[in-house]
Structure 1
Amino acid sequence: MYRCVLPLILAVSSVAAQAQTHRFFPANALRGELVITQFPEARINGRAARLAPGARIKNDNNLWVPPAGLTGQKLTVHYTVESTGLVMDVWVLNAVELANKPWPTTPAEAASWQFDAGTQTWAKR
């Protein structure tokens, strides 16, 4: 019986380890440096921004964190912006995700580059 359980445990731990090192981001996610100044106010790449009322921030382990707890920290993130211009989803990047370059920092770059959702890579056209 224990021989059957061990491979299952190893498989589950392998999937969990992969999830902690590489997440899947939507094609509209941009990369930037986020600083929460005074919640919900923030700066992204030095420009004023505002977090949406339902904004979600996930840390580098993909766990939700309260935005006010990140005040003043400079974080390299991927983020999405809703139709009203408010920042909606934010993912603090881990080392593996930071190494995934290039990644667009502006909507214009994203519009002119090609995204492969399966490999989570961008290619300049």
Structure 2
Amino acid sequence: MYRCALALALAASCLVAHAQTHRFFPATALRGELVITQFPDALLNGKPARLAPGSRIKGDTNLWVPPAGLTGQKFIVHYTVESSGLIMDVWVLNPAELANKTWPTTPAEAATWQFIPANQLWVKP
């Protein structure tokens, strides 16, 4: 029983360490600069935007963050947009993810670049 609990604790700590260095993002995620002005209103790349009902914001440690706690702060993020144009998922990037400079910032870039999901890399043509 003790060994099982120890193994679970070790596995959980490995998952947390992995989450702090690199997460897996969908191919539809774009990179941008996000400022929550007054929830659900925001600025995305300096332009007015709005968070969707049920949107999720994950901090740099992959834990959910309440949007009100981010008001007025500027973050480099990966985000997805739903069909209506509202921001759905947001991931505040950690230093390891920020080091991966090649990431599309517009749907047009994403359409012309190639995404390698296993490595979380984008290849420009």
1:1-125 correspondence runs (5 A) = 10=10, 12-125=12-125
Q: After the TM superposition, which segments of 4 or more aligned residues of structure 1 sit over 6 Å from their partners?
A: 1-8
1:11 CA drift (Å):
5.2
Paired residue total: 125
What does the per-residue CA deviation read over 1:61-108, in whole Å, with 9 as the maximum and x for residues that have no partner? Answer: 001011111110000000000000000000000000000120000000
Percent identity, please.
74
Distance 2:28 2:116 in 1: 12
State whether residues 52 and 88 of structure 1, in contact with CA within 8 Å, keep that contact through their aligned partners in structure 2.
yes
**Gapped regions of structure 1 (runs ≥ 5):** none
Distance 2:7 2:89 in 1: 36
C-alpha change, 1:63 and 1:12, in structure 2 (3 Å) is closer
C-alpha change, 1:114 and 1:8, in structure 2 (3 Å) is same
TM norm structure 2: 0.90
Aligned-residue RMSD, C-alpha: 1.8
Distance 1:2 1:104 in 2: 47
